[in-house]
Amino acid sequence: MLEAIGVGSVEALFANVAQKHRLQRPLAIPAAASEQELVAEFSALAARNVHHASHDWFLGAGCYAHFIPSAVDAIASRSEFYTAYTPYQAEISQGTLQAIFEWQTMICGLTGLEVSNASMYDGASAAAEAALMAMRITRRTKVVVANSVHPHYREVIRTYLRGLEAQIVAAPRAADGRTAALAGLVDGGTACVLLQQPNFWGAIEDVAAAAAAAHAHGAKLVVVVGEALSLALLRSPGSLGADIVCGEGQSFGVPMSLGGPNLGFMAARMASVRNLPGRLVGQTVDGEGRRGFVLTLSTREQHIRRERATSNICTNQGLCLLMATVYLSLLGRVGLRRLAERNLAKAEYAKARVRATRELTLPLTAPTFNEFVVGVRGSAAAALERALEVGIVGGLDLASYAPELGPALLVCTTELATRQAIDRLVAALAGERP
């Protein structure tokens, strides 16, 4: 390399740097390791990670540990689906387009709405896009966001709305964990009410009441879903009056992967399809009458409408969408519902154990799905530390999210939580040492 740049030696290369500024000895780093030694060292480092396969896992709060059948990876990694990038050319992209169409169909079924896009980046950006969509439809600028929407989602909404003439109004939480009555917060200038279902505290919101409060003033109701599996069991937000339903689809066969990539979804009513952001795949027939799939209504999108597009999103979450579509197809309508019932049963068992334990409380009384708040004595951090000592990740410390609840944890029980693990968690949180 020295020869190529016309320098005689390393010394000559650095001749312009004064001697006193140069290191006069070799760098104090270990000698180069062999590949075998490197693999051994990194394996040892990786073994120190705490994850849902190494520990009993009760942490959710927006990213959920679910069992993923091996068939999901096997099908999603077939080479026919590789390079699942922009399927503009319908002639060569029927597989990808059909997978997206199936996803849209299933999201419509789960949300109770009429049209779904081809996915978004994640739940947080989908929530922000939904707020923007409601502002476009209503031509209004006020957005009422429940305090019980995931704190990270609320931050992303604030970021997206900054720079627009938008006003965000916070809707407080009631004592039972649900969002307090919205009357008084919604008026003729409100574009939408944005509610999470189940909310960040695990409580199941009264979607129908929120829809009535929003619609009374011509505002839209946006429901954002953090734990998509809940859609298999709860009445669909669309059937309860929600105008836009969006959220995080990671629960559907996408690994937690240290927090991403995730998978946003978004559905709405046909009347507002032209205000929907993102790609949309439609079903059609070719010249010979055979079924086929194409990107449709692209004129909403950035590559055609430029700065006047509905959104700057001009892609979709192709691979994660494919995994989720395969996952949902494998489980089917009945399987998904049974899985959701199992999650609910685990949570109800855990809540019963908490209720029967003197040192623990359930500070919020609203119904829940697979996640709920547990009050502990002393400090929540200490309770989590006790759990970790016995191989349990016990949940999320709520000290910085809801100090008014006192020492408390957000605990999640998916189908991965065994009865024995729940018993051990309750014992550890209560203060018993092994």
Partner 1 sequence: MADYEIPDDLSFTLEDEWVRREGNNMVVGITDFAQQQLGDIVFVELPPVGSVVSRGDPFGVIESVKAVSDLYAPVSGEVVDVNTDLADHPEAVNEDCYGDGWMIAIAISSEDELESLMDVPAYRQHVDDRSE
Indicate the residue among 189 and 335 with the shorter CB distance to partner 1. 189
Closest by alpha carbon to 171, among 200, 149, 153, 155? 149
Distance CA(383)–CA(116), nearest Å, equals 42
Long-range contacts of 91-98 (CB under 8 A, 24+ apart): 94/292, 94/293, 96/318, 96/322, 97/281, 97/293, 97/294, 97/295, 98/293
Indicate the residue among 273 and 362 with the shorter CB distance to partner 1. 273
Indicate the residue among 170 and 271 with the shorter CB distance to partner 1. 271
Type of residue at 412: C
Helix H or strand E encompassing 387:
helix 380-389
The stretch among 23-31, 143-151, 303-311, 312-320 that binds partner 1 (CB under 8 A) is 303-311
Write down the least CB distance from residue 133 to partner 1, Å: 15
The reply to whether 305 sits near partner 1 by the rule CB under 8 A is yes
Query: Hey, which residues does 195 pair with through a beta bridge?
Result: 223
Say how many C-beta atoms besides its own lie within 10 A of residue 419's C-beta: 11
Distance CA(262)–CA(152), nearest Å, equals 14
Indicate the residue among 162 and 308 with the shorter CB distance to partner 1. 308
The reply to whether 165 sits near partner 1 by the rule CB under 8 A is no
The reply to whether 285 sits near partner 1 by the rule CB under 8 A is no
Q: How remote is the C-alpha of 187 from its chain's centroid?
A: 30
First to last CA, the chain: 62
Write down the least CB distance from residue 286 to partner 1, Å: 16
Instruction: Give the single-character DSSP code of 246.
Output: E
Write down the least CB distance from residue 89 to partner 1, Å: 18
The stretch among 53-61, 168-176, 302-310, 370-378 that binds partner 1 (CB under 8 A) is 302-310
Write down the least CB distance from residue 304 to partner 1, Å: 6
3-state secondary structure of 239: helix
Which residues are CB-neighbours of 307 under 8 A, at least 6 positions away?
none
Per DSSP (E only), the strands in 254-355 are 264-268, 281-285, 291-295
The reply to whether 48 sits near partner 1 by the rule CB under 8 A is no
- Lookup result for tokens 């409580």: 203
The reply to whether 304 sits near partner 1 by the rule CB under 8 A is yes
Write down the least CB distance from residue 113 to partner 1, Å: 20
Distance CA(316)–CA(233), nearest Å, equals 27
Interacting positions 327-366 with partner 1 (CB under 8 A): none
The reply to whether 299 sits near partner 1 by the rule CB under 8 A is yes
The reply to whether 274 sits near partner 1 by the rule CB under 8 A is yes
The reply to whether 139 sits near partner 1 by the rule CB under 8 A is yes
The reply to whether 303 sits near partner 1 by the rule CB under 8 A is no
Write down the least CB distance from residue 299 to partner 1, Å: 4
Write down the least CB distance from residue 134 to partner 1, Å: 16
Write down the least CB distance from residue 297 to partner 1, Å: 9
- Chain residues that interact with partner 1, rule: CB under 8 A: 139, 274, 299, 304-305, 308
